[in-house]
Amino acid sequence: MVRVGVIGATGYSGIEAVKIVAGHPKAELSYVTSTKEVGTPLAHVYPGLHRLGLTYEAFDPDFAKSKADVFLLCLPHGQAAAFAAVLLDEAHKVVDLSADLRLPADTYEEWYGMAHPQPELLASAVYGLPELNGDSVANASLVANPGCYPTGASLALAPAVAKGLIDLETIVIDSKSGVSGAGKTPTAATHFCQVNDSITAYNVGEHRHTPEIERVLTEISGEEVTVSFTPHLAPMNRGILTNAYASLAKDVTTAQVIDIYKSYYQAAPFVVVLDEGRFPSTADTVGSNDCQIGLLVDERTDRLVAISAIDNLIKGAAGQAVQNVNLMYGLGESAGLELLGRTV
Amino acid sequence: MVRVGVIGATGYSGIEAVKIVAGHPKAELSYVTSTKEVGTPLAHVYPGLHRLGLTYEAFDPDFAKSKADVFLLCLPHGQAAAFAAVLLDEAHKVVDLSADLRLPADTYEEWYGMAHPQPELLASAVYGLPELNGDSVANASLVANPGCYPTGASLALAPAVAKGLIDLETIVIDSKSGVSGAGKTPTAATHFCQVNDSITAYNVGEHRHTPEIERVLTEISGEEVTVSFTPHLAPMNRGILTNAYASLAKDVTTAQVIDIYKSYYQAAPFVVVLDEGRFPSTADTVGSNDCQIGLLVDERTDRLVAISAIDNLIKGAAGQAVQNVNLMYGLGESAGLELLGRTV
Amino acid sequence: MVRVGVIGATGYSGIEAVKIVAGHPKAELSYVTSTKEVGTPLAHVYPGLHRLGLTYEAFDPDFAKSKADVFLLCLPHGQAAAFAAVLLDEAHKVVDLSADLRLPADTYEEWYGMAHPQPELLASAVYGLPELNGDSVANASLVANPGCYPTGASLALAPAVAKGLIDLETIVIDSKSGVSGAGKTPTAATHFCQVNDSITAYNVGEHRHTPEIERVLTEISGEEVTVSFTPHLAPMNRGILTNAYASLAKDVTTAQVIDIYKSYYQAAPFVVVLDEGRFPSTADTVGSNDCQIGLLVDERTDRLVAISAIDNLIKGAAGQAVQNVNLMYGLGESAGLELLGRTV
Amino acid sequence: MVRVGVIGATGYSGIEAVKIVAGHPKAELSYVTSTKEVGTPLAHVYPGLHRLGLTYEAFDPDFAKSKADVFLLCLPHGQAAAFAAVLLDEAHKVVDLSADLRLPADTYEEWYGMAHPQPELLASAVYGLPELNGDSVANASLVANPGCYPTGASLALAPAVAKGLIDLETIVIDSKSGVSGAGKTPTAATHFCQVNDSITAYNVGEHRHTPEIERVLTEISGEEVTVSFTPHLAPMNRGILTNAYASLAKDVTTAQVIDIYKSYYQAAPFVVVLDEGRFPSTADTVGSNDCQIGLLVDERTDRLVAISAIDNLIKGAAGQAVQNVNLMYGLGESAGLELLGRTV
């Protein structure tokens, strides 16, 4: 059993990690920390978890290392990297769910508006999108877990980019996210009365996940890719629907594109390429580690429409982190992650 | 492994039964039927379930008996009892999730407005609320699975009634249910625009679960109990919150009542009696087989307020059915049911 | 034209007052203040109000008095009374939407946990529930606008209490409110992910509106009335549904009770007593100043069930405040308030 | 007073027309019909409208003509045109809210899969998007009221197309609609449990509003325009948010684009061009006849992002119909339409 510590388990990603690890057949949830809730039973913060019988512990590096083999850092960007620096050693591995290790230092500084907290870690950090670079993850000790939007967008576009199906200068990405993506801290933007029964775009043209998406697509294509990315806040708790639009560079049919995608994701246990005419609802993936993708070649406009759905907290965060742990420790990519999507 | 057949798995309770049985360590999901969707992959109706790889089969009694040991009947009332009559034999057991076997024939006819379809089955049918009559369930071949409202209301009131804490003539029950309780068939009442952002009472003074609640409380107390019961449709998919109010017959404090409840449910793995000052949200129980109960002695009015939350599709339907199967086959009451409640 | 100043127009009640007064044929919206948003266009806080072209002003007592004849105080309890004391004079009237002037000083101190801020105002403050004491309101200079729950509960019960239909010791009130009732300040309890798709009771047995309800019913009956009151937070923006239960003291039918209610509210332009078999949804009243009431005599239990629906921000706050202004200035009770309820 | 008849007032657009006309200072709601609800009080179908005191009448052409001057046809496509043919004469005008008169007969047949019901009407039908062709509307007797998506998309793009700001071959439109756009008839797709807490695209690449959008943009530009259009169903009752993306054909800044838009819509009372950095929520427009537009020149990608919000039932249907009536009868474009958007 791999012993897993969840560092920062009061937030939405952290608590999702707790749930997944607690149900994992080959991993043990051995250490669960919080800054604000030290000594509080998890069930007082999340009453649905009473069955776990856990209490939040304080973070202490030495104690942490004695308790766990691998750490999932569910902390704000800017703070997480320092924990990674402290915890990482020969005997311990780290998956950082924050943005700290996903981008080159200069890009990080440009988009996050702060100096990179631990630039020396970047060289060894592997970007943990297993469908694209699972082999690197398997050999990594330090994994930068992808952002929620980049996960949905990258998986929607990767095969099309890799196979040269689309004109890379024409990519438009329009994503709709549930409110849990905005975090647990109450703000005017997450007040129920503000969000309920309404939809809005935010951070138009300047969302921090933009360079992360571009970096993934650039690495696949070998060319510099720039994308238009617009996120939205939709009145739902979880889930991201991402529509990616791009002009076709090849003459292909919907059926052919679907074949290409299915082939590309043949070994990917969590990507579901839907049959022609089918498109996902976010609900279909909520609660699961799946990414469902629907595809259309719009012959009227010679454009590809690729629509992906994920649960932002699972495939977009904690589930993908566990998927990375599975690869890092050879537990089987799907171990503990064969979760079903929402039915009602 | 006990082989379980889910009869009628297109509706909300049926598909929940499918999910739970599919994850059960000691039961095998061996037969899944539908009337309308024969030959359709479950994943076409519920895309989140693609991982199960199942296809709806037609119902055939002989084939059914060859495929499964026990059947969960997820069928409309009026239809289910006939299936029970056909399937029940020395080698096969049945849990009926419909209302057909919950009430005496005359009460059934009065409240459901139709002749009882199989009155000869009633003598052998055991009412399957395990917290109250688990021993009878363990010896039963035919179980009438309780209604969703009666589950929440009975568990909220049972200890108070059993221990003589309340005046039985003063019970008022006010329940708020998610929309899945109204079934999957689209109606004017379940149209999104009708339900969203609004709440309404329905079937005031005449809901069919009323006599079922009264029957349970009458059996516990030994006296004829009549209750006022008002259900509501709330803008949420799942969950029932039930407030039970009654005048106190004994001089007790909140702390004492909580102790009495905890003691009464000591051996019940799915009832969570909350500490003083805590009351449940439906979300805390959604996804789990739990019933969470908050309690208050209102000293100003000498009244007990007991508030229970359940997931109407799990503890109020499919989860309780599996709990009954566990008891009927000695699988351990909690097997396959240690599900966590919603966190987000 | 009566000139109306809305003091504290950034919150939900205040902005609703702004909208109503702005559309009033006999009143002029002459002064709109905010503490935090001085100099900010209303349209920056509430973009749907751009058509009004207004900007928040700072509060200044002398300037205020020069600008308006009557003030609607949309301020937190504990703060509002001091504004009333300053603004009230021979030439100016005040409607206080806070709780400050609704209760005797000792009751206020007991339930609100603080010394009463201006006890000397209490003698002249008229409780502004126009359906019960419109005549007093008409002669008042200082009106305590009722709380949202007390409005729904009092209107549901007033005729039954006044006509001796019910046993006053048996009253149970169960209310379900939209989230705007909790105010605009973001809190853990109003975070979208906390409220969405769930329902919960709060302040069980100790909500501050309890003594206000009791005071109204006590004044109607002439006897000391104590009630059990349980509020809930439902996943909706606006609206309160209140179920009132009480044992019958007289032998009446549903039809008779409906007649009694219709007769009692004959001159009340905003109370809609529904025909037998009909019960309100909160949506039916949202956007309007109406209180819709459905009634049932449950003959099985000899209990009256009265269910009222209101918009908590209109009939439960700003609409009622304008109704009071209408009476205080003889503008016609319905002026500016003939608003339609929600259809979709 | 212009006498207005609403033909088909049980559906969502029809009832919205009823509400708007009922509050119109220069129009009289003189005739309200239904097929299914003849003789039923409107308040039985929409209890929030009790104050109107109306009852559904049967449709009879001669009687209709005696009762009203202009008719708003709120009927399904395929049926509406026949009513227009019957009602239109020297003394009567018609605004058809269905799709019947919006497209050339061949395009209609291609996208709606049926022969055009009244092709002879097409020559005289004016497309009623007042911001683009208000003059033609003013002289029309027969107006084809635009679809909801085309209204939001056309207003978002019209200035950019008219002023040559964008490359017409690069237009991608991604819209998110509330559920009322799917109509009042209960279907699997509009069941609360299907829609709630989820988002999904539908009719990808084949929605019938596509050719309507293309027709408008083609007329503005004088060139054949083809667009990618993807609609979504979001968990909300009302509102459409439309994101339009296109590559820039000119070197402009966000500030310049905003100026161009403000100038273009200078005389349009219902288009609100937001200041730089502001983008609309659908809620801001719900309840109003407004179209709010936020704009960004994304310099990283040389693309224009134009985001519009409307209430699909008002500016996208009934409000726009009344706006057209106002123009047809010279009542003042804004008469009866100065409605405020949602605040909570």
The per-residue pLDDT for range A28-85, each reduced to its tens digit, is 999 999 999 999 999 999 999 999 999 999 999 999 999 999 999 999 999 999 999 9
Q: Chain D residues with CB inside 8 Å of B235's CB?
A: 192, 196
CA-atom Rg of chain A in angstroms: 19
Residue C335 lies in a domain: no
Q: Give the Å distances, CA to CA, from B146 to B97, B162, D42.
A: 7, 19, 40
pLDDT band at B204 (very low <50, low <70, confident <90, very high): very high
Share the mean pLDDT of chain C. 98
Q: Chain C residues with CB inside 8 Å of A188's CB?
A: 186
Average pLDDT on A260-287 reads: 98
Q: Are residues C156 and C288 in the same domain?
A: yes
| Residue C242 contacts residue C153 (beta carbons within 8 Å) | yes
- Most B CBs within 10 Å: which of D40, D185, D193, as the mutation test of the B interface? D193
pLDDT band at C290 (very low <50, low <70, confident <90, very high): very high
Q: Are residues C250 and C283 in the same domain?
A: yes
Q: Chain B residues with CB inside 8 Å of C294's CB?
A: 201, 204
How many angstroms away from the CA of C209 is the closest CA of chain D? 23
How many angstroms away from the CA of D102 is the closest CA of chain C? 26
Give me the phi and psi of A75, to 5 degrees please. Answer: -130, 165
Domain that residue B18 falls in: 2-124
| Residue A88 contacts residue A120 (beta carbons within 8 Å) | no
CA distance C310 to C292: 7
| Residue B309 contacts residue B285 (beta carbons within 8 Å) | yes
C192:A190 CB<8 A: yes
What is the number of domains present in chain D?
2
The per-residue pLDDT for range B150-180, each reduced to its tens digit, is 999 999 999 999 999 999 999 999 999 999 9
Q: Are residues D105 and D7 in the same domain?
A: yes
What pLDDT is attached to residue D310? 98
Q: Which of D72, D89, D124 is the last residue of a domain?
A: D124
What pLDDT is attached to residue A297? 98
Q: Which of D124, D141, D158 is the last residue of a domain?
A: D124
Residue B260 burial (CB count, 10 A): 19
The per-residue pLDDT for range A183-222, each reduced to its tens digit, is 999 999 999 999 999 999 999 999 999 999 999 999 999 9
What pLDDT is attached to residue A330? 98
| Residue A254 contacts residue A275 (beta carbons within 8 Å) | no
What pLDDT is attached to residue D129? 98
What pLDDT is attached to residue D179? 98
Of C191, C194, C237, the CB nearest to A197: C237
pLDDT band at C160 (very low <50, low <70, confident <90, very high): very high
| Residue C265 contacts residue C159 (beta carbons within 8 Å) | yes
| Residue D42 contacts residue D18 (beta carbons within 8 Å) | yes
CA distance A130 to A153: 14
CA distance C261 to C282: 20
Write out the H or E segment, with its range, that includes residue D152: helix D148-162
Average pLDDT on A256-272 reads: 98
A neighbour chains, 3+ CB pairs within 8 Å: B, C, D
| Residue B33 contacts residue B56 (beta carbons within 8 Å) | yes
- Most A CBs within 10 Å: which of D167, D195, D204, as the mutation test of the A interface? D204
Joined tokens for residue C293: 């009431």
What pLDDT is attached to residue A136? 98
Chain C residue with the nearest C-alpha to that of B284: C198
How many angstroms away from the CA of B25 is the closest CA of chain A? 13
A193:C180 CB<8 A: yes
A186:C188 CB<8 A: yes
What pLDDT is attached to residue A58? 98
| Residue B167 contacts residue B226 (beta carbons within 8 Å) | no
| Residue D128 contacts residue D321 (beta carbons within 8 Å) | yes
CA distance D83 to D78: 10
Q: Are residues B164 and B242 in the same domain?
A: yes
Residue D74 lies in a domain: yes
Of A22, A48, A274, the CB nearest to B341: A48
What pLDDT is attached to residue B172? 98
Q: Chain B residues with CB inside 8 Å of A284's CB?
A: 46-48
pLDDT band at C340 (very low <50, low <70, confident <90, very high): very high
CA distance B212 to B209: 5
CATH of the domain at C8: 3.40.50.720
Helices B148-162 and B210-221: angle between axes, nearest 10 degrees: 20
CA distance A77 to A89: 21
**DSSP SS3 for C192:** helix
Determine which one of B74, B148, B193, B291 is catalytic. Answer: B148
CA distance A8 to A77: 12
Chain A residue with the nearest C-alpha to that of D226: A301
Q: How far apart are the first and last CA of chain A?
A: 34
The per-residue pLDDT for range C89-146, each reduced to its tens digit, is 999 999 999 999 999 999 999 999 999 999 999 999 999 999 999 999 999 999 999 9
Chain C residue with the nearest C-alpha to that of A237: C193
Share the mean pLDDT of chain D. 98
Q: Are residues A99 and A216 in the same domain?
A: no
CB crowding A81-96: b at 16 or more within 10 Å, else e = bebbebbbeeebbbbb
Q: Are residues A309 and A167 in the same domain?
A: yes
Residue D275 burial (CB count, 10 A): 11
pLDDT band at D160 (very low <50, low <70, confident <90, very high): very high
Of A46, A47, A285, the CB nearest to B292: A47
Give me the phi and psi of A70, to 5 degrees please. Answer: -135, 145
- Most A CBs within 10 Å: which of C187, C191, C233, C282, as the mutation test of the A interface? C191
Residue B338 lies in a domain: no
C235:A12 CB<8 A: no
Residue D171 lies in a domain: yes
What amino acid is encoded at B287 in this protein? G
Q: Chain D residues with CB inside 8 Å of B196's CB?
A: 179, 192, 196, 235-237
Ordered DSSP codes for D251-274: ---HHHHHHHHHHHTTT-TTEEEP
Pairing of strands D142-144, D126-127: parallel
**DSSP SS3 for B189:** helix
Q: Are residues B8 and B91 in the same domain?
A: yes
Q: Are residues C304 and C214 in the same domain?
A: yes
Q: Are residues D198 and D260 in the same domain?
A: yes
Torsion, Cα D5 D11 D12 D14, to 10 degrees, reads -10
Q: Are residues C166 and C61 in the same domain?
A: no
Residue C178 lies in a domain: yes
pLDDT band at B254 (very low <50, low <70, confident <90, very high): very high
Average pLDDT on A241-251 reads: 98
What pLDDT is attached to residue A246? 98
B neighbour chains, 3+ CB pairs within 8 Å: A, C, D
Residue A245 lies in a domain: yes
Average pLDDT on B249-266 reads: 98
Q: Chain D residues with CB inside 8 Å of A230's CB?
A: 243, 245, 305, 307
Residues of D catalogued as catalytic = 148
Q: Are residues C193 and C55 in the same domain?
A: no
Q: Chain B residues with CB inside 8 Å of A262's CB?
A: none
What amino acid is encoded at B250 in this protein? K
The per-residue pLDDT for range C237-249, each reduced to its tens digit, is 999 999 999 999 9
Residue C278 lies in a domain: yes
Beta bridge partners of residue C144, listed in sequence order: C96, C127
D193:B180 CB<8 A: yes
The per-residue pLDDT for range D180-234, each reduced to its tens digit, is 999 999 999 999 999 999 999 999 999 999 999 999 999 999 999 999 999 999 9
What is the torsional sign of CA D248, D249, D255, D259?
Answer: negative
CB crowding D83-102: b at 16 or more within 10 Å, else e = bbebbbeeebbbbbbbbbbb
CA distance A97 to A101: 9
Rounded percentage of chain C residues whose pLDDT exceeds 90 = 100
Of D180, D184, D193, the CB nearest to B237: D193
| Residue B301 contacts residue B295 (beta carbons within 8 Å) | no
How many angstroms away from the CA of A153 is the closest CA of chain C? 24
What pLDDT is attached to residue A47? 98
What pLDDT is attached to residue B202? 98
β strands within chain D, DSSP E: 2-7, 27-33, 70-73, 93-96, 126-127, 142-144, 172-177, 200-201, 228-233, 240-247, 271-273, 291-298, 303-310
CATH of the domain at A307: 3.30.360.10
Share the mean pLDDT of chain B. 98
B237:D196 CB<8 A: yes
Residue C227 lies in a domain: yes
Of D180, D186, D194, the CB nearest to B187: D186
The per-residue pLDDT for range D30-89, each reduced to its tens digit, is 999 999 999 999 999 999 999 999 999 999 999 999 999 999 999 999 999 999 999 999
Q: Are residues B104 and B170 in the same domain?
A: no
D48:C196 CB<8 A: no
